[in-house]
Chains A and B, each alone.
Chain A
């Protein structure tokens, strides 16, 4: 069965710092990749997704993620975080109608 690993459980940054959250998956076939975000008190919502084409995907609020097939990775990045980016971030991998989520990374941005 496929699995998704997010190695950072809690990341604390100051505003304007750069962000990179790791996501690795274990599955050898064709996959579709997602990052979801859950802001405090809000629902999980889609941040960005990759299905095919350019492996560098841009999402909302200045986030981007790069699919590196050889490393089975789909890391999330943002060049300069804001206090409003404080949230929990979940990586997800879907293949053959089987979607698996990572454990999530809690991001705290200090003003």
Chain B
């Protein structure tokens, strides 16, 4: 595709419900990243995938958060038993490969509101 796409663009859910956020990276990009941006704060790294390697989950804030990626395509971020502090914009980015030299291309984000 032309760019990274994410769906839904907005999600409002009730505390305790599970949510799934989807990311479609740019075709051919082997690296995919998830970030969280809380209001007034910077981008908080959550998880990244590189090809078929085991994902780097070091940024996931709790075991309620998980993510999957099918090959080098779509990724889904799942938040179980959502809490109000999970409210944030969740951004996905992809790059040709992982590594310090590679520009990350960002999607528009999913704004999650937990009531």
A34 to B56, CA, bound (A): 21
User: What's the minimum C-beta distance from B93 to chain A, rounded to whole angstroms?
Assistant: 8
Which residue of A9, A31, A96, A101 contacts B43 across the interface (Cβ within 8 Å)? Answer: A101
A90 touches B106 (CB 8 A): no
The majority secondary structure among interface residues of chain A is strand
B100 touches A32 (CB 8 A): yes
Which residues of B21-49 are within 8 A (CB) of A? Answer: 33, 35, 40-43, 45
Which residue of B3, B40, B99 contacts A103 across the interface (Cβ within 8 Å)? Answer: B40
Contacts of B109 in A (CB 8 A): 43
Give the A-B pair count, Cβ closer than 8 A: 50
Q: Does A102 contact B (CB under 8 A)?
A: yes
A97 touches B100 (CB 8 A): yes
A108 to B93, CA, bound (A): 26
Count B interface residues, CB 8 Å.
23
Scan A79-111; emit 1 where CB is below 8 A from any B CB, else 0. Answer: 000000000001010111111111110000000
Scan B83-106; emit 1 where CB is below 8 A from any A CB, else 0. Answer: 000000001010000111101111
Chain A residues close to B by CB (< 8 Å): 4, 6, 9, 31-32, 34, 36, 43-46, 49, 51, 90, 92, 94-104
Chain B residues close to A by CB (< 8 Å): 3-4, 33, 35, 40-43, 45, 56, 91, 93, 98-101, 103-109
Task: Taking A45-B105, A99-B33, A103-B40 as given, write out 19 further A-B residue pairs in contact, using a Cβ cutoff of 8 Å, ordered by the A residue number.
Answer: A4-B42, A9-B40, A32-B100, A34-B103, A43-B108, A49-B103, A51-B101, A90-B42, A90-B43, A92-B43, A96-B100, A97-B56, A97-B100, A98-B45, A99-B100, A99-B104, A101-B35, A101-B42, A104-B42
User: Which 4 A-B residue pairings sit nearest by Cβ, starting from the closest?
Assistant: A101-B43, A103-B42, A44-B106, A94-B100
